[in-house]
């Protein structure tokens, strides 16, 4: 990286000028801000105790030393306590020559990272919130891999509990044997239908109890439906053959439906865990904690952990009837995963409404003697809404993932037909491109927002071919590809860099932007933010289009310029494709 090499040169300068050694971490160098002249800026103030001079004199000393001893330095200027350094064109051309090898070898972290994302419940289909979760998880996995980590992607399917029993009970009561085949519904959609039906019938029963003179509180706590669902959960945990058989059948429908959605999004996992296989380990861990006096049993036989001395609260670990809660299985799953993979870090991609849950999880694991709890990181992301408001699964007002994907592809089809962009393509080619554009619009619009922030997904804005959108970046890629295809058809050889080429200001800017790619990846990996990649990619596309508008490429003044610009945009094409792949976005060769 340029900053690292410059820091080394500054260290040599300080040693030569002031006979003083300084650590790399104490030399502050960053990109020069756009309003100032220069490529990189050294902050001089921390060095004044060494130089015993004013900021301007110290900056001038270092600037002159570098000018005389560092051949790549073109010039320098001083703004108060900041030394701005401008590097020669030859330096940037050399960087361009090395760019392919830099792009291929970004490895630096060399850690094993386990990342959990998706984590759906088997009582409903995936919705827009799940889409954001899956896209963030997949993209962060790709970014971490690109930064040199060994990544294990896992999914924990919440396939047991009271919510699943609600769907099962509703199907048992009112399903009349309906199946995905008989209803022509995806399995997850069919089960979601009965989850909504349970809520409808439950509200009806509550209203009936209230109409008979009971309070709202009494009615909510005394419905026969909820009692039946709770009894079903108890039977499930006791291994009742009939209930287990029903549970397996209905869950199999859901798994098949989930897989179809994952395939549509391009999502895959190295391993899938199931809550039904981990909750017993969690219960055993709680039992061990009880023996050690780390957790306590209440008079109603429920088991709690008291975290008030740690600034938190009391947390339920097992209900009075012996059934487990979410954190029970999370304890078991965390220990199972650590023993299986021994990761350096365990990342959970879960919405910010679970912030407290993960504070408790880490603390309880630590109290139970699991030092690896320090490696757990909650990637807490914000909620996603539509322009008309929030979604509620139990009321059936969610934005279904499958429907949204289909709508995005259909919108891409409509816009492409209106613009006449795909005239002359075969139907198969068109359908592939419609899918690539629609999914690009969906993925990019969601991933360009910092994961920590809440966001509103606007389908119409996401698919615009202008502005900060996936289709705009795809179209930029296709434009570059078209230019290169014409060059190849004309047998123009542009694979070698001319060291004596005289860069203009815009070409220099493009090279500098390309040169940031490694830093951008490392920053995105460190902050677990695909938005950094997305917005860098948009910057690439925007700058290329400005260059394309201002300068001719194939019809440039002479052959040397033509060849250099072709080579430069070929690197642009490669980085656009690579960066968008980190977002899970396919780049069509033609549009």
How many whole angstroms from its chain centre is CA 455? 14
pLDDT value at 397 more than 70: no
The HSE-up count of residue 450 (CA atoms within 13 Å, CB side) is 4
Q: Which of 84-88, 103-107, 233-237 has the lowest mean pLDDT?
A: 103-107
Q: For the segment 139-194, what is each residue's pLDDT rounded down to a tens digit? A: 999 999 999 999 999 999 999 889 999 999 999 999 999 999 999 999 999 999 99
CA angle 392, 135, 129 (to 5 degrees): 5
Phi and psi, residue 384, nearest 5°: -120, 130
134: Cβ–Cβ under 8 A, 6 or more apart, which residues?
A: 117, 118, 126, 262, 265, 267
Q: What is the structure's pLDDT at 393?
A: 42
Has domain 118-385 been given CATH number 3.40.50.620?
yes
19: Cβ–Cβ under 8 A, 6 or more apart, which residues?
A: none
Q: To which residue do tokens 């830099």 refer?
A: 102
DSSP per position, 133-187: HHHHHHHHHHHHHHTT-EEEEEEEEB--SHHHHHHHHHHHHH-TT--HHHHT--H
**Per CATH, which fold does 2-87 belong to?**
Gyrase A; domain 2 (3.30.1360)
Angle between helices 401-419 and 241-265 (to 10 degrees): 20
| b/e code 221-254 from CB counts within 10 Å (16+ = b) | eebebbeebbebbebbbeeeeebeebbeebbebb
| b/e code 412-440 from CB counts within 10 Å (16+ = b) | bbebbeeeebbeeeeeeebeebbbbbbbb
Q: Which of 233-237, 344-348, 424-428, 436-440 has the lowest mean pLDDT?
A: 424-428
Q: What is the structure's pLDDT at 394?
A: 44
Cross-strand partners of 455: 384
Q: What is the structure's pLDDT at 186?
A: 96
Q: For the segment 336-378, what is each residue's pLDDT rounded down to a tens digit? A: 999 999 999 999 999 999 999 999 999 999 999 999 999 999 9
Q: What is the structure's pLDDT at 108?
A: 52
Q: For the segment 519-567, what is each residue's pLDDT rounded down to a tens digit? A: 899 999 999 999 999 999 999 999 999 999 999 999 999 999 999 999 9
Name the H helices within 266-387: 275-291, 326-341, 355-367
Q: What is the structure's pLDDT at 4?
A: 78
CA distance 358 to 530: 22
Q: What is the structure's pLDDT at 100?
A: 58
397: Cβ–Cβ under 8 A, 6 or more apart, which residues?
A: 391
CA distance 528 to 522: 10
Q: What is the structure's pLDDT at 423?
A: 77
CA distance 131 to 129: 5
3-state secondary structure of 587: coil
Q: What is the dihedral of CA 395, 399, 402, 407, to 10 degrees?
A: 140
CA distance 382 to 401: 18
The HSE-up count of residue 538 (CA atoms within 13 Å, CB side) is 20
Q: What is the structure's pLDDT at 92?
A: 87
The HSE-up count of residue 568 (CA atoms within 13 Å, CB side) is 30
CA distance 317 to 78: 62
Q: Which helix (DSSP H) or strand (DSSP E) does residue 85 occupy?
A: strand 82-87
User: Quick one: 401-581 is in which CATH superfamily?
Assistant: Isoleucyl-tRNA Synthetase; Domain 1 (1.10.730.10)
Binning pLDDT at 50, 70 and 90, where does residue 105 land?
very low
More reliable by pLDDT, 201 or 1: 201
573: Cβ–Cβ under 8 A, 6 or more apart, which residues?
A: 477, 480, 481, 484
Identify the CA nearest to 112 among candidates 375, 348, 380.
375
Identify the CA nearest to 157 among candidates 25, 273, 41.
273
Domain residue limits, the chain: 2-87, 118-385, 401-581
Identify the CA nearest to 147 among candidates 458, 524, 542, 570.
524
Phi and psi, residue 12, nearest 5°: -65, -40
In Å, what is the CA distance from 296 to each residue of 291, 306, 315, 318, 453? 9, 8, 10, 10, 38
pTM: 0.89
3-state secondary structure of 259: helix
How many whole angstroms from its chain centre is CA 351? 12
CA-based end-to-end distance of the chain: 35
């Amino acid at each position: 990286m340029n900053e690292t090499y410059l820091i080394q040169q500054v260290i040599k300068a300080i040693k030569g000028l002031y006979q003083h050694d300084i650590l790399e971490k104490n030399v502050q160098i960053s990109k020069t801000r756009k309003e100032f002249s220069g490529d990189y800026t050294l902050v001089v103030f921390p060095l004044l105790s060494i130089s015993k001079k004013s900021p301007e004199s110290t900056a001038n000393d270092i600037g002159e030393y570098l000018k005389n001893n560092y051949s790549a330095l073109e010039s320098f200027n001083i703004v108060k306590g900041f030394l701005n350094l401008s590097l020669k064109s030859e330096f940037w051309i050399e960087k361009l020559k090395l760019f392919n090898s830099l792009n291929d070898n970004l490895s630096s972290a060399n850690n094993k990272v386990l990342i959990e994302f998706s984590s759906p419940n088997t009582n409903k289909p995936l919705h827009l919130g799940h889409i954001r979760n899956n896209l963030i998880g997949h993209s962060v996995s790709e970014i971490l891999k690109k930064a040199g980590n060994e990544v294990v992607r896992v999914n924990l399917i919440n396939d047991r509990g009271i919510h699943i029993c609600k769907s099962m009970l509703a199907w048992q009561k009112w399903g009349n044997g309906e199946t995905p085949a008989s209803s022509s519904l995806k399995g997850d959609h069919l089960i979601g239908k009965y989850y909504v039906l349970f809520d409808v019938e439950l509200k009806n029963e509550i209203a009936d109890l209230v109409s008979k003179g009971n309070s709202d509180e009494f009615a909510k706590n005394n419905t026969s439906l909820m009692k039946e669902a709770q009894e079903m959960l108890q039977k499930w945990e006791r291994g009742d053959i009939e209930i287990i058989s029903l549970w397996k059948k209905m869950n199999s429908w859901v798994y098949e439906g989930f897989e179809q959605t994952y395939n549509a999004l391009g999502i895959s996992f190295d391993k899938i865990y199931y809550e039904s296989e981990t909750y017993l380990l969690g219960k055993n861990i709680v039992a061990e904690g009880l023996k050690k006096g780390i957790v306590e049993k209440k008079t109603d036989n429920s088991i709690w952990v008291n975290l008030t001395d740690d600034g938190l609260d009391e947390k339920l670990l097992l209900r009075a009837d012996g059934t487990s809660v979410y954190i029970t299985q999370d304890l078991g799953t965390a220990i199972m995963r650590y023993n299986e993979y021994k990761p350096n870090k365990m990342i959970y991609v879960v919405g910010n409404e679970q912030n407290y849950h993960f504070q408790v999880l880490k603390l309880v694991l630590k109290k139970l003697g699991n030092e690896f709890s320090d490696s757990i990181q909650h990637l807490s992301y914000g909620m996603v809404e539509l322009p008309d408001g929030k979604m509620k699964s139990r009321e059936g007002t969610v934005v279904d993932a499958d429907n949204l994907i289909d709508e995005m592809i259909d919108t891409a089809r409509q816009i492409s037909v209106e613009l006449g962009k795909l005239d002359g393509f075969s139907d198969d080619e068109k359908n592939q491109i419609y899918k690539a554009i629609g999914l690009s619009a969906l993925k990019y619009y969601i991933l360009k927002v910092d994961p920590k922030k809440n966001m509103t997904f606007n389908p119409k804005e996401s698919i615009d071919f202008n502005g900060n959108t996936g289709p705009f970046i795809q179209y930029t890629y296709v434009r570059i590809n078209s230019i290169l295809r014409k060059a190849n058809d004309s047998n123009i050889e542009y694979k070698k860099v001319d060291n004596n080429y005289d860069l203009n200001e815009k070409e220099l800017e493009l090279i500098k932007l390309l040169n940031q790619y490694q830093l951008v990846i490392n920053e995105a990996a460190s902050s677990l933010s695909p938005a950094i990649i997305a917005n860098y990619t948009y910057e690439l596309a925007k700058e290329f289009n400005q260059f394309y508008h201002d300068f001719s490429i194939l019809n440039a003044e002479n052959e040397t310029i033509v060849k250099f610009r072709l080579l430069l945009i070929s690197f642009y094409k490669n980085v656009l494709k690579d960066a968008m792949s980190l977002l899970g976005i396919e780049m069509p060769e033609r549009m």
